[in-house]
Amino acid sequence: MIQVRKIQIPQLPTEQPRRLYVYLPRGYERSETRYPVLYMFDGHNVFYDSHATYGKSWGMKEYLEKSKRSLILVAIECNPEGFRRIFEYSPWDFYGSGIGNVEGLGKVTMDWMTQTLKPAIDANYRTLADREHTLIAGSSMGGLMSIYAAVQYNAVFSRAAALSPSLWVSPKRMKDLIRSQPLAAPTRIYLDMGSGETEGDERMRIALFETAKALTRAGAEVAADVIPGAQHCEADWEKRIPAFMKYLS
C-alpha cells in the first residue's frame, strides 16, 4: 500500500505542494510489527511511471512486493521549479556551467528530514526508529545527498545507497567532510555508477573510488562498483535495486 499526500516544507516552499509517498509493507494493518525505514530522494520517480519526470520510475513497489522485504519506504518529491532541485540537493554553494551560482540548501533539506519528517513518521507509523534501522538512498544529486546524510547525519542514518552520485559538486568539500569525523559502527554505504555515464572521462570513476576509500578510512563498510554499459537513468537504476538492497540488509 502506498499513501500519497501533498505537503509543504516551510523552509523550502514550492508554488504547488510537493508529494510525500509512504509505502507500507503487505500485512502492515493486520500486525503489530515494527519496521525499518528507507528514506529516498526524488520521490516522484520512485513508484509510479505516471509521476516520473521522464515517464519511467524505479519500480520500488514491485521490487518490495516481489522480494517480500518488510520495510517502510518514505519518498519525498523534489522541488520541480527551475534549478531548485539542485539547490535543495546540494550541501554546498557552487557554480555550475549552464546553471550559474547555486545556493546549497542541502543542510536545510536534511535538517527538515531529520528534525521534522522523521519524527512525524516515527510518531504515526510503527517504525524501528533507531539509527541501525534507518536507511537513505538516492541517485544523481540525490546520491550525493545520501552520502552527505550518511556522514553529516551519521547519528540518524546507519546505511545509505548512492547510485550515480553527483560527486562533481564541490569534491574537496565532500572529502573534507568525510575526513572530519569518524563514522559510528555500523555504517554501511553502497556506491556505484554506470560505465555509460563516463563517455571516456575517467574523472567520475576516479572520484567514485576515491570517495569509497575515504569512507572506508572513516570507518564505514563500503561497496563501490562500475556497472558495465549502464546509463544515467531510472531504468538502469532500477536494475541495481537488488544489489544495493542486499548490501544494505
What does the alpha-carbon distance between residue 36 and residue 169 come to, in Å, rounded to a whole number?
30
Tell me the pLDDT band of 83, cut-offs 50, 70 and 90: confident
Residue in the structure block whose three cell numbers are 522541488:
79
Give this prediction's pTM.
Answer: 0.97
What burial class does residue 122 get, using C-beta atoms within 10 Å of its C-beta: 0-12 exposed, 13-18 middle, 19+ buried? middle
Q: Among 137, 199, 245, 195, which residue's Cα sits nearest to residue 208?
A: 195
Q: Which residue has the cell 573534507?
A: 176
* pLDDT mean across residues, the chain: 95
Nearest one of 186, 179, 246, 242 to 210, comparing CA atoms: 179
- pLDDT tens for 189-202 read 999 999 999 777 78
Instruction: Quote the pLDDT of residue 99.
Output: 84
Residue 96: band (very low, low, confident or very high) from pLDDT cuts 50, 70, 90: confident
At 226 the pLDDT is 95
Residue 200 backbone class (left: φ over 0; alpha: ψ -120 to 50; beta: rest)? left
Number of H helices, E strands in the chain: 9, 10
Domains belonging to the chain, first-starting first, are 2-248 (3.40.50.1820)
Residues 6 or more apart in contact with residue 116 via CB below 8 angstroms: none
Alpha-carbon distances of 110 from 67, 126, 167, rounded to whole Å? 29, 22, 18
- 8 Å CB contact between 191 and 223: yes
Q: What is the pLDDT of residues 97-132, one digit of tens each?
A: 878 898 999 999 999 999 999 999 999 999 999 999
- Per-residue pLDDT averaged across 9-15, rounded? 94
User: pLDDT for 151-179, tens place per residue?
Assistant: 999 999 999 999 999 999 988 999 999 99
